[in-house]
């Protein structure tokens, strides 16, 4: 790792214990490795969350563009959902 910059972080006693346990158990060679792995996972999760939000926005826009709904009230929406549930359970 040629381009490495050291930083200092503050952890709760509980998180520090998790990091130390990961190193002591041999799962990781150092606390730095634990933190790098945690940050990679955090970065991956953020990317997935962004993708989910983008998909939700796209679906929202598609729904708005599709015109007014065919159900007039919540009772009709619930009735349709129940009908679909029963139909799915029958297949």
Name the percent of the chain lying above pLDDT 90: 84
pLDDT band at 61; cut points 50, 70, 90? very high
pTM, rounded to two decimals:
0.65
Report CA 21 to chain centroid distance, whole Å. 26
Report domain extents, the chain: 13-90
The pLDDT score that the predictor gives to residue 1 is 63
What tokens appear for 69 in the block?
């709904």
Helices (H), 1-91: 13-24, 31-65, 74-90
pLDDT digits (tens, 9 = 90+) for 22-59: 999 999 999 999 999 999 999 999 999 999 999 999 99
- Using alpha carbons, select from 36, 57, 65 the residue that is nearest to residue 49: 57
């Amino acid at each position: 790792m040629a381009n490495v910059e050291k930083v200092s972080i503050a952890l709760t006693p509980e998180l520090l214990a998790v990091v130390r346990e990961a190193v002591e158990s041999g799962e990781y060679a150092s606390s730095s490795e634990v933190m790098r792995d945690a940050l990679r996972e955090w970065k991956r999760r953020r990317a997935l969350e962004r993708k989910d939000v983008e998909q939700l926005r796209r679906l929202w826009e598609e729904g708005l563009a599709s015109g007014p709904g065919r159900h007039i009230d919540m009772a009709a929406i619930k009735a349709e959902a129940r009908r679909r549930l029963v139909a799915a359970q029958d297949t």
